[in-house]
Amino acid sequence: VTNGGKTTLAEKLKKMLPNCDIISQDDFFKPESEVETDERGFKRYDVLDALYMDEMVNSIRNWMKSPASSGGVTEEPQNTCANLKNTEDVYILIVEGFLLYNYEPLNELWNRRYFLTLPYEECKRRRSTRVYQPADTPEYFDGHVWPMYLKYKNELEENGSNVVYLDGTKSQEELLSCLYTDIIQELKKMRE
């Protein structure tokens, strides 16, 4: 969901995990001139066609081929716990974005999937505090952003993807703890 805390959580996790890097879907938006406008005059930023998804997939695959040379890996994680000892050969890529699980070429790449949710009112409130370029029009959230979120969330649920849903109204600390614990468990399984 937009303004659910995806980027903030990813950045905090990167500081806590060994050899961790992030790829953000926001870095793959097409320029405004290439983004379609719908019949109501809304720029359609909340659809896959507004993004260079093939470039994103290529970036992820390139990272996977040579994670140690990505340049963004954490040398020494903060808060190293006993569960992370002897992990110098483990590399973690966090891919964060709002339309990741609706793009089929990406679905074969995930080890874990997390989906932050927010109720309508909270999402709208958070969105209203952000400054976007181009700026949101007053009707944009209700006329485009929220309907596209519901559409893609419904698609995800219909596909029965193995996704861990997270309540975005919980504190950042609580969400971070939940994600960190889950990732540590996943790392243990992978090492067995």
Where in the sequence numbering do the catalytic residues fall?
A: 26
DSSP-based three-state secondary structure for 22: strand
Q: What angle do CA 31, 36, 37 make, to 5 degrees?
A: 120
d(CA 108, CA 128): 35
User: Residues of 86-104 as b/e, b for ≥16 C-beta within 10 angstroms?
Assistant: ebeeebbbbbbbbbbbbbe
- Contact (Cβ atoms closer than 8 angstroms) between residue 141 and residue 91: no
- Contact (Cβ atoms closer than 8 angstroms) between residue 4 and residue 120: no
